[in-house]
């Protein structure tokens, strides 16, 4: 049972344009969502997060939007840079729970 889903395995974007990565979830008990970036043969690094009490969180070029009614969140990267090329994972957790549930990841490629 995949509680967190990233339906796009890959995404290719032109440098300077906006990258939009999507994530859907099924567990209505999730109240905290995170995005991680991962390079090959490395562990994930934290990018940005959002609590369920908010619908938007912004940090520099990265913005995460949360639509609770649709159980959907998205990560916007603008402007996209070649160094953003990586696999991006969406993760979620329930209040009081320690563990994170990850999506399958989306491989983002930024083309010069």
Partner 1 sequence: GAVVSQHPSRVICKSGTSVKIECRSLDFQATTMFWYRQFPKQSLMLMATSNEGSKATYEQGVEKDKFLINHASLTLSTLTVTSAHPEDSSFYICSARIGVTNYGYTFGSGTRLTVV
CA dihedral (14, 16, 18, 21) positive or negative:
positive
What gap in Å lies between CA 34 and CA 11, rounded to an integer? 19
Size of the site for partner 1 (CB under 8 A): 24
Which 20-79 positions form the footprint of partner 1 (CB under 8 A)?
32, 34, 36, 41-46, 49, 51
Q: Which residue has the tokens 């990560």?
A: 75
> Which 8-state DSSP code applies to residue 83?
G
Among 19, 63, 80, 93, binds partner 1 (CB under 8 A): 93
Per CB under 8 A, residues contacting partner 1 are 2, 4, 9, 32, 34, 36, 41-46, 49, 51, 89, 93, 98-105
């Amino acid at each position: 049972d995949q509680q967190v889903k990233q339906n796009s395995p890959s995404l290719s974007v032109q440098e300077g344009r906006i990258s939009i990565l999507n994530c859907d979830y099924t567990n209505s008990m999730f109240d905290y969502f995170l995005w991680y970036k991962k390079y090959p043969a490395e562990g994930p690094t934290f990018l940005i997060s959002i609590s369920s009490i908010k619908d938007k969180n912004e940090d520099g070029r990265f913005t995460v939007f949360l639509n609770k009614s649709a159980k959907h969140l998205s990560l916007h990267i603008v402007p996209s840079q070649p160094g953003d090329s990586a696999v991006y994972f969406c993760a979620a957790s329930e209040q009081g729970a320690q563990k994170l549930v990850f999506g399958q990841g989306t491989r983002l490629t930024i083309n010069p």
